[in-house]
Chain A
Amino acid sequence: MADAKKKILVADDNPAILDALRIMLEEEGYEVETTVNGATVQDMKQPLPDLLLLDIWMSGIDGRDVCKLLKGAAATKHIPIIMISATKDIAQIAKDSGADDCISKPFQMEHLLAIVAKYVNKH
């Protein structure tokens, strides 16, 4: 049987970004689910994604807290989390929250795809 497509969950409060990312990732061969709602991320339902792209500033919810939560729960701690933010200084914040890596907006497509590829296979 061929490998199933990897599933990526993208969380960002901007619909346009979600749309662009969906196109980008689907064209690369991933299965993409998007949400603007932080709560959805927190209460992740099965099947769990293979990678989470998480925006730090989301309305109503702090991306860092979500990350910490997920990384702290047995069920979800294996999921690689890439944090996205508008500022350059996020590397430390990301690390502090337990994220695996981070990327800043606006990003280069190549760079994003490379990072996703790197982490999505690590299970």
Chain B
Amino acid sequence: MVFVLVQHLDPTQKSLLPETLARATSLPVIEATDGATVKSNYIYTMPSESYITIEGSVLHLTSRKKRSGSRNPVDSFFQSLAKHHGKDAIGIVLSGTGSDGTVGIQAIKDNGGRTFAQDASAQFNNMPKSAIDSGSIDFILPADGIAPALIQINREATGGTTKSKPEASNIGTILTLLKTESGIDFLQYKQTSVNRRIQRRMSLNHIGSVEDYAEFLKQNPIEVERLRKDMLIHVTSFFREPDQFETLKKLVFPAMLKNRSSKAPINVWVPGCATGEEAYSLAIAFQESLGKKASLRPTIRILGTDIAKHAITEAGEGVYKEDITEHVSPIRIRKFFTKVKAGYKVKKSIRDMCEFKVADVSQKPPRLHNELISCRNTLIYLGEELQQKALLMLLSALEPEGVLLLGKSEGLGGSTKLFFPLDSSQRIYYKKTLSPETADLRKAFNSKAYMDITPLVSQKTTTKPDESGRTPRQKKITKLKEAVALTQDYTNEIISELDMVNEKLQSANEELASNSEELQTNNEEMSTLSAELQTRNEDVTIALDYADAIIRTVRGPLLVLNKDLRIISANEAFYNAFKVAANDTENRLLYDLGNRQWNIPKLKTLLEKILPKSNTLTDYEVVHDFKDIGQKTMLLNARTLQQGPNKTSLILLGIEDITERKQNEQQKDEFISIASHELKTPITSVKAYTQILGQRFRKAGDTRSSELVEKMDSQLDKLTDLIGDLLDITMIEAGRIRFHESYFDFNKLVEETVEELQRTTEKHRIVTELQPSRTVYGDCDRLGQVLTNFMTNAIKYSPHADKIIVSTVVDKDNVTLSVQDFGMGLSQKDQAKVFERFYRVGGSNQNTYPGLGLGLYIAAEIIKRHKGRVWVTSKKAKGSTFCFSFPMTKQRK
């Protein structure tokens, strides 16, 4: 179906119709050009300076300037359509003045086409009415009934069976959703505006049909909110229509401020204040009027309301962008605003005059007794019925002689009778009261229909009665009265005609005003959107590049699999490590790769059983004999991730070849084990010889020699300890250390160890403070090792002290043991690291104390295995207390 729109346009003005229409429809809209071939599902508009006709599929334009005669573009087009398209022609006469189209529609009908006319809902009824009266109209429908009918016709023509709900009921669904979400009945708002907003949101969401959009809204409450916010968008600025403000200051404010006590506040209400500019502008205007009369200043309370909560919140902030300088003079900026990071903020003096609330202008007013109500460019968005309702609300909220200020394109409509215009061109009105006391001002603006004829009647005439019993004077009076009555009637008629025309012009004006506002908003939004898209595009590209770079530079082999375990991509490192080629790898099933060398049972378990459950797998070791590269130990890390809008499942598999590392570890372990054994062997025999010698010296009475030999023996023990530590470390690291747990008397162990160590030092006295003995479960030997280590350290690191305190504390579950020395203490840094492997504390002058730095580490490991903990508290130069605690009873693993 091809659509051609013919309108009555001003030939000197370029038509903006294509742009305007484009926002209301998803069909492409283009301005017709001469000789253009029409395409299906396109809308062609008539350029303002031409007449348009159609011949077959080609459009023709003729200049309106040249053409004389008929000035009916619609007829002209209809006739050409009827002639060339006969039964396929569809003519639709919509709202318009005059009778253009009637002749054309008859032509269409005569040639077998179908005809529509808009029903009484048309704003200008003449054109449709005229067409209807000609008897050539098949369907009389409202505008949103015509579209479904066309769809029906199209369906019959193409034989399609698409079932779609009529548009009207989809809109209804949408409005119901909005009403549920916000409580606002948008059916009462101007439907053209409502439809436009809906179309806009549809195109932003790339949804073609209203039915689909209604479905979309049902599933997405956030979109309902966005739509609602969109509906309530108001364009506003500071000092909109500055001349209205000047008139207010000149005509209205002085009257308001005259003859009043400074106590009574002036209430001002600004319904539909949106983001607050209007309210603040009034506040500034008031301040300027009151000027220096500070002491006589009455309080002014400006209440700004709007139905859009987010706008009210913004109004409350009072912060605006820098571009308000376009509407606010530098003097006003300086006097009433403070510069802030985001732009400008209204000063306290202004902000304190204003209060903001959420309210619906068509409902009961939030505050009565207002002397001034400024409601500009709010009512234009409401449907006619709602407008009148709102105006009545405004009226009720006004004080007697209160002033109403409307927008330049607005009017009072049916409520004209309720107000006196003070300056109708500036849309400033006074509330009409029924009281007989009329102010001086009002008299001058009294109703034009009323004429004072008393002067006429009071003229003196003769008083003689005639045949009919009436005097000539009486007759004259009667005649005059009749004449006057007639004149009155006639005048009234004209007035009401004028009123009607006025109303209609008003509507058109409102429409234009709201159009232009919406255009403005749209423009702004378009440029923001386009900037955002640009940024997002860049972000996406950057992200992709980044991800790509990471995968490529990762040194370890990396595979990306889909959920069927087919390889989507692999990196360079993978190809190198496993000696496969890219084209052999991509898109193959993992298990099929390179002679099924990846067909590893353990790997299968990993990918098919473990991974689906837990989404990530860390450090999973797999040993496998690869055909080309031999036996390898691999460390696998895997993760599932969802990608893209459809959440396709991917598996990321990182493979680390730790064969060499493992071998090194194994070698290391073996070496240390062997080393320990080998070291112990000569020591065993040397110690044995030493002890034999000692015995012989003692038997011979040579105490000096036997003492020497004892010293040798002692050093051998030290050496044995060092080797023991080394061995322990190895076993701990390899997880091969074994514990032999049993029940034993802890205190007994402590006492025995203390006794043993006391023998090694003469300088120190080891004091014990033990709480009563308890049986504990643990490895007696190993715990003894820890005790020995702590006490040995205490002795070693307090060479100048003489005391060491060993104490225990027993609570319900744990036993805690502390060994306190009074030696050099530890710095904070050392305290934090002292339990670390190889950490040795430095003494003064770069000395270090002998030892491998393993003792405390091993002690910590032993306690850890007992599910306990170790710690140290210390003060430099004062001493240290090393503690460990562990649960006394057998811990369940």
Contacts and interface: CB of A to CB of B under 8 A. Distances in A.
Interface of A: 14, 16-17, 19-21, 23-24, 27, 57, 86-89, 91-92, 105-110
B676 A86 contact: yes
Nearest to A57: B677
Given A86-B676, A89-B738, A108 B691 contact: yes
Contacts of A91: 740
A21 B691 CA distance: 11
A14 B692 contact: no
B682 interface: yes
Contact of B692 (A16, A106, A109): A109
A24 B682 CA distance: 16
B240 to A, nearest CB: 93
Given A16-B682, A27-B695, A88-B781, A109 B688 contact: yes
B299 interface: no
Contacts of A17: 681, 684-685, 688
Given A16-B684, A20-B685, 8 more contacts: A16-B681, A23-B692, A86-B680, A88-B724, A89-B738, A106-B680, A106-B716, A109-B692
B488 interface: no
Best-buried of A16, A86, A88 by chain B (most CB within 10 Å): A86
B677 A19 contact: no
Given A86-B680, A87-B727, A106-B680, A16 B685 contact: yes
Contact of B684 (A23, A87, A106): A106
A87 B692 CA distance: 23
Contact of B688 (A20, A57, A86, A87): A20
Q: Which 5 A-B pairs have the closest CB atoms?
A: A20-B688, A16-B685, A109-B691, A106-B684, A105-B684
A68 B651 CA distance: 54
Contacts of B738: 89
B483 interface: no
Contacts of A89: 738, 740
Contacts of B687: 106-107
5 contacts: A14-B684, A20-B689, A89-B738, A105-B683, A109-B692
B681 A14 contact: yes
A24 B695 CA distance: 10
Contact of B681 (A23, A86, A109): A86
A20 B724 CA distance: 22
Nearest to B727: A87
B720 interface: yes
A59 to B, nearest CB: 12
Contact of B695 (A21, A92, A105, A109): A109
Contacts of A24: 688, 691-692
Interface in B696-748: 716, 720, 724, 727, 738, 740
A110 B691 CA distance: 9
Interface in B640-690: 676-677, 680-685, 687-689
B677 A86 contact: yes
A19 B692 CA distance: 12
B787 to A, nearest CB: 16
A21 B689 CA distance: 9
A27 B692 contact: yes
Contacts of A19: 685
Nearest to B691: A109
Interface in B163-201: none
A110 B710 CA distance: 14
A40 to B, nearest CB: 20
A27 B687 CA distance: 16
A92 B692 contact: no
A14 B692 CA distance: 18
B676 A21 contact: no
Interface in B332-361: none
A49 to B, nearest CB: 20
Nearest to B677: A86
Contacts of B691: 24, 108-110
Nearest to A89: B738
B336 to A, nearest CB: 88
Contacts of B677: 57, 86
Contacts of A16: 681-682, 684-685
A27 B691 CA distance: 12
Contacts of A86: 676-677, 680-681
A119 B727 CA distance: 30
Given A23-B692, A86-B680, A109-B695, A92 B740 contact: yes
Given A20-B688, A89-B738, A89-B740, A106 B683 contact: yes
A17 B687 CA distance: 10
A16 B678 CA distance: 13
A89 B781 CA distance: 10
Nearest to B694: A109
A33 to B, nearest CB: 17
Contacts of B720: 106
Contacts of B684: 14, 16-17, 20, 105-107
B170 to A, nearest CB: 83
A19 B724 CA distance: 24
Contacts of A87: 727
B688 A21 contact: yes
A87 B684 CA distance: 12
Nearest to B699: A27
A20 B683 contact: no
A38 to B, nearest CB: 17
Interface in B746-802: 781
Interface string B137-157: 000000000000000000000
A89 B730 CA distance: 14
B718 to A, nearest CB: 12
A105 B692 CA distance: 16
Contacts of B692: 20, 23-24, 27, 109
Contacts of A57: 677
A29 B488 CA distance: 158
A91 B691 CA distance: 24
B444 to A, nearest CB: 119
Contacts of B740: 89, 91-92
A108 B713 CA distance: 10
A88 B691 CA distance: 21
Nearest to B680: A86
Nearest to A112: B688
A48 B683 CA distance: 30
Highest count of chain A CB atoms <10 Å: which of B677, B689, B691, B781:
B691
A116 to B, nearest CB: 13
A105 B723 CA distance: 12
A108 B687 CA distance: 8
Given A89-B740, A91-B740, A105 B781 contact: no
B685 A14 contact: yes
A49 B724 CA distance: 33
A89 B695 CA distance: 30
A101 to B, nearest CB: 15
B531 to A, nearest CB: 73
Contacts of A105: 680-681, 683-684
A51 B248 CA distance: 125
B736 to A, nearest CB: 10
A83 to B, nearest CB: 14
A39 B677 CA distance: 22
Among B685, B720, B724, B781, the one with the most A-chain Cβ atoms within 10 Å of its Cβ is B685
A122 to B, nearest CB: 24
Contacts of B689: 20, 23
Contacts of B716: 106
A57 B685 CA distance: 16
B686 to A, nearest CB: 8
A88 B780 CA distance: 13
A24 B677 CA distance: 22
Contacts of B676: 86
Contacts of A109: 688, 691-692, 695
Q: In the complex, which of the residues A24, A106, A109 has the most CB atoms of chain B within 10 Å of its own CB atom?
A: A106
A71 B724 CA distance: 31
